Amino acid sequence: MQNPTLYEIKSTVADHYKLPIRVMAGEARYRAIARPRQVAMYLCRQLTKRSLPEIGRAFGGRDHTTVMYSCRKVEELMLDRPAFKAEVDDLSTRIRGVNGTGPLYPEEAINALVRAALEDLTPKFIALLVDQVEARLKEGRGD
Cut 0.75: pTM above it: no
- Write the CATH number for 47: 1.10.1750.10
Q: Would you say residue 125 lies in a domain?
A: yes
What is the percent of the chain where pLDDT is above 70? 74
Q: Would you say residue 110 lies in a domain?
A: yes
C-beta separation of 66 from 60 below 8 A = no
C-beta separation of 42 from 70 below 8 A = yes
pLDDT of residue 79: 96
Q: Would you say residue 87 lies in a domain?
A: yes
The Cβ of residue 74 has, within 10 Å, a number of other Cβ atoms equal to: 22
Highest mean pLDDT among 20-29, 38-47, 109-118: 38-47
> What residues make up the domain containing 133?
6-141
How many residues are present in the chain?
143
Q: Would you say residue 133 lies in a domain?
A: yes
Measured distance CA(123)–CA(67) in Å, rounded: 32
pLDDT of residue 1: 44
How many domains in the chain?
1
Of 118 and 69, which is predicted with more confidence? 69
Q: Would you say residue 38 lies in a domain?
A: yes
pLDDT of residue 47: 95
Task: Report pLDDT digits (tens) over 98-136.
Answer: 445 555 555 555 665 566 566 666 666 667 767 777 777
Please state, in angstroms and as integers, the Cα–Cα distance from residue 45 to each residue in 87, 90, 137, following that order. 17, 16, 55
C-alpha torsion angle, residues 40, 46, 47, 48 (rounded to 10): 100
Q: Would you say residue 111 lies in a domain?
A: yes
Q: Would you say residue 1 lies in a domain?
A: no
90 pLDDT more than 60: yes
10 pLDDT more than 80: yes
pLDDT of residue 99: 45
Question: Helix (H, G, I), strand (E, B), or coil: what is residue 2?
Answer: coil
pLDDT of residue 62: 95
Q: Would you say residue 104 lies in a domain?
A: yes
